[in-house]
Amino acid sequence: MSSTTINRKTNHQKPHTPKSFLLGIVKTAGGTFLGLTLLSTSAIAGGMVGLAISFRNLPDVRVLNNYVPSQTSYIYDVKGLLLTTFHGEEHRTSVPLNELSPQLKRAVMAIEDSSFYYHNGINPASIARAVVVNFKSGGVTEGASTLTMQLVKNVFLSHQRTFSRKLAEAVLAVRVEQVFSKDQILEMYLNNIYWGHNNYGAETAAQSYFNKSAADLTLPEGAMMAGIIQAPEVYSPLANYDIAKQRQALVLNRMADLGWITPEEAEKAKKTPLKIGKSKAWQSSKLPYVTDAVREELIKRFGQETVIKGGINVQTTIDYKLQMEAEAIVKKAHRNLRASGVRADQVALVSIDPRTHFVKAVVGGIDYEKSQFNRVLQSRRQPGSAFKPFVYYTAFATGKYTPNSVIPNYTRGFREGGGYYRPQNYGGGGGGGSVTINNALAHSLNIPAVVMGQKVGLDKVIEVCRTLGIKSPLQPVVSLPLGPIGVTPMEMAKAYATFANNGWQSETTMIMQVSDSLGNVMLDNTPKPQLVLNEWATASLTSSLQNVINGGTAANANIGRPAAGKTGTTSGERDVWFVGYVPQLSTAVWIGNDDFNRSLGRGVTGGGYAAPIWRDFMNTALKNEPVKYFPSASQFTKPKP
């Protein structure tokens, strides 16, 4: 509940309580019993006030005037645009009492505290009544704590079941009743209570469970919500509808017993079918693929508890406008793919600034509403020939090879384990003769890459991959240069980003800075570039990869400025890629199906289908960026062999 809401209601006059409602309570309780209850409650309350002297360390309940139930965390894009808020456990939208359904209010009081308007915070009669009611029902149907006691427990105290805690709870409840009106207490309670699935407060719970405001809840819906409070994860209709209906019936029976509804109304409500919604605690983000990933990174850095407590302000590295453009390009590309007969269910894209290794856009799939699985971060797919640059960089770094070095385009094969592996070029060709590394990369020849892998050592290639931030499992099998292993698009994009920055690398992240609610900086991801690759070897590789676009397999990636990259197409056309870069941006595009066994279709290649998506995105992203050139290998000293 915001402080604005609390202050607004501090001077709020108690609305007129319907006479029929009061009569229902009096009729049920009985005049004599009610009088005794009030007398005993007053006596106990007076005793509690005296006892309160012994609780000098208890909090001042007047802080509720400005109480904020949870420290909300705010997530921004790189330019300060609010993307979403994180509430930890407490996903809450506070609303005034008069904007809550009367049916909900009565149902809650019926099952939790039917004498709420008649006690002073504690109610000895409710303890006795709870014992009787629970005995008759054979289970726990009514608790002994008043709504006021539940409120102070949730706001001020731990949930540990000890005598001292219960005593403190009672003292604070009496104090609250002395400071606030019943309506104010009920409003705070209904906005503070936990309703399951990260929903705190009636409004967010109503939106999650019934896709409507709490003001519009009907009797059947209000009764079901009231039944959830005692054990939200058990009685939630999202978890088990049948159990939720049983609890609803219990609430309705209680309301009928109290005379607040008729038995006929109770039976009708029990038989009314309810349309259940879905949890919306984390679905209000403008960029859900982004904010989901940011939340996971925050948890990794600070732990779940710190993130849940909230109160942090997070500036991400994401450019909202560029992200929206990337999502639109991916969706349009997917429609075009399907229209052209390509059997692709998914497209993913991620773009990184090589100068900072800040992630600028991440599109984890074509439709977050249909699938929250982020393929950029979570899907390991075979990169195919997009893996070859790691092999050729390793070769250049030895100092024994240059882009013009000649290597065999033929082989008799290689023994591996108990078998025999003989690579073929794309389309089944056995190769022949020799080619330069430039030509081998430009035309994505398989045989030279496998031969080179054997010459430089696959362990060395894997070592380079680790340096570039690829953490996925890699095995030194003969076919490794052809990318038969699974890696994520994020791993590919950040590895190529280091190529784009000519060997200089910073930590890849989506978070620029995190500060607490007081403005103290908790995390500062100002880039700290380190040179992790040989500059001559990296510049040589970039020179060769420019030929892939300028007359090679990725002619469709030509964007009219210096750019380098590599296509990737796996056997059976199950995954196609294009990963490429300019000095300001490194971008990976993947096309495939979540079912790895499904082919995209015969003849589908990275150059034919992934490269155009990359081109469209890069043209959009770079439209206001100046043309920049890559450094030449001649500027650096070649390693000694």
What end-to-end distance do the CA atoms of the chain give, in Å? 68
Q: Are 541 and 581 in contact (CB under 8 A)?
A: no
pLDDT of residue 321: 97
pLDDT of residue 307: 74
| Active-site position among 112, 221, 297, 327 | 112
The chain-wide mean pLDDT, for the chain, equals: 86
Q: Are 505 and 397 in contact (CB under 8 A)?
A: no
What DSSP designation does 262 have? -
pLDDT of residue 10: 30
Instruction: Evaluate if residue 12 carries a pLDDT over 90.
Output: no
Of 577 and 90, the structure prediction assigns the larger pLDDT to 577
pLDDT of residue 52: 46
Find out if CATH 3.40.50.300 is the number for domain 322-635.
Answer: no
Q: What are phi and psi for residue 85, nearest 5 degrees?
A: -120, 145
Among candidate residues 581, 576, 541, 551, the one with its CA nearest the CA of residue 565: 581
Please spell the DSSP secondary structure of 28-68, one letter per residue: HH-HHHHHHHHHHHHHHHHHHHHHGGG-TTSPPGGGGGG--
Instruction: Evaluate if residue 545 carries a pLDDT over 80.
Output: yes
- What is the band of 601 on the pLDDT scale with cuts at 50, 70, 90? very high
Asked if 114 is an active-site residue, the reply is no
Q: What is the pLDDT of residues 407-446, one digit of tens each?
A: 999 988 898 878 889 999 987 777 789 999 999 999 999 9
- What is the band of 138 on the pLDDT scale with cuts at 50, 70, 90? low
Distance of alpha carbon 399 from alpha carbon 499, whole angstroms:
17
Q: What is the pLDDT of residues 57-81, one digit of tens each?
A: 666 777 666 565 555 678 999 999 9
Average pLDDT (569-589) is 96
Average pLDDT (368-381) is 95
Instruction: Evaluate if residue 301 carries a pLDDT over 80.
Output: yes
pLDDT of residue 14: 34
What's the full length of the chain, in residues? Answer: 641
Residue intervals of the chain classified under CATH 3.40.710.10 are 322-635
Q: Are 75 and 85 in contact (CB under 8 A)?
A: yes
Please tell me the least confidently modeled range out of 41-55, 94-108, 223-237: 41-55
Residue intervals of the chain classified under CATH 1.10.3810.10 are 3-69+90-271
| Interior/surface letters 595-611, b for 16+ CB within 10 angstroms, e for the rest | ebeeebeeebbbbbbbb
Asked if 112 is an active-site residue, the reply is yes
| Active-site position among 208, 385, 506, 543 | 385
Instruction: Evaluate if residue 53 carries a pLDDT over 70.
Output: no
Instruction: Evaluate if residue 385 carries a pLDDT over 90.
Output: yes
Q: What is the 3-state secondary structure (H, E, C) of 147-188?
A: HHHHHHHHHHCCCCCCHHHHHHHHHHHHHHHHHCCHHHHHHH
Please tell me the least confidently modeled range out of 131-145, 216-230, 267-281, 404-418: 131-145
Residues in Cβ contact with 2 at an 8 Å cutoff, skipping those fewer than 6 apart: 68, 94
Instruction: Evaluate if residue 139 carries a pLDDT over 70.
Output: no
pLDDT of residue 233: 84
pLDDT of residue 137: 63
| Pairing between β-strand 73-76 and β-strand 313-316 as defined by DSSP bridges | parallel
- What is the band of 460 on the pLDDT scale with cuts at 50, 70, 90? very high
- Strands (DSSP E) contained in 368-417 are 406-408, 414-416
Distance of alpha carbon 148 from alpha carbon 176, whole angstroms:
7
Q: What is the pLDDT of residues 466-516, one digit of tens each?
A: 999 999 999 999 999 999 999 999 999 999 999 999 999 999 999 999 998
pLDDT of residue 522: 95
pLDDT of residue 519: 82
For a pLDDT cut of 90, what percent of the chain falls above it?
A: 66
pLDDT of residue 36: 35
- What is the band of 116 on the pLDDT scale with cuts at 50, 70, 90? very high
- What is the band of 21 on the pLDDT scale with cuts at 50, 70, 90? very low
What DSSP designation does 193 have? S
Instruction: Evaluate if residue 527 carries a pLDDT over 90.
Output: yes
Estimate to the nearest angstrom the gap between the alpha carbon of 616 and the chain centroid. 28
pLDDT of residue 416: 84
C-alpha distance from residue 221 to each of 7, 107, 196, 238, 357 (Å):
30, 10, 15, 13, 50
- What is the band of 304 on the pLDDT scale with cuts at 50, 70, 90? low
pLDDT of residue 489: 98
pLDDT of residue 169: 76
Average pLDDT (134-138) is 63
Q: What is the 3-state secondary structure (H, E, C) of 265-321?
A: HHHHHHHCCCCCCCCCCCCCCCCHHHHHHHHHHHHHHHCHHHHHHECCEEEECCCHH
- What is the band of 6 on the pLDDT scale with cuts at 50, 70, 90? very low
Average pLDDT (384-389) is 98
Average pLDDT (152-164) is 62
pLDDT of residue 44: 47
At 420 the three-state DSSP class reads strand
Average pLDDT (176-194) is 92
> Which H/E stretch holds residue 105?
helix 102-112
| Interior/surface letters 288-311, b for 16+ CB within 10 angstroms, e for the rest | bbbbbbbbebbeeeeeeebbbbbb
pLDDT of residue 28: 35
pLDDT of residue 89: 57
CATH: 1.10.3810.10, 3.40.50.2000, 1.10.10.10, 3.40.50.920. Which one for 3-69+90-271? 1.10.3810.10
pLDDT of residue 57: 63
- What is the band of 23 on the pLDDT scale with cuts at 50, 70, 90? very low
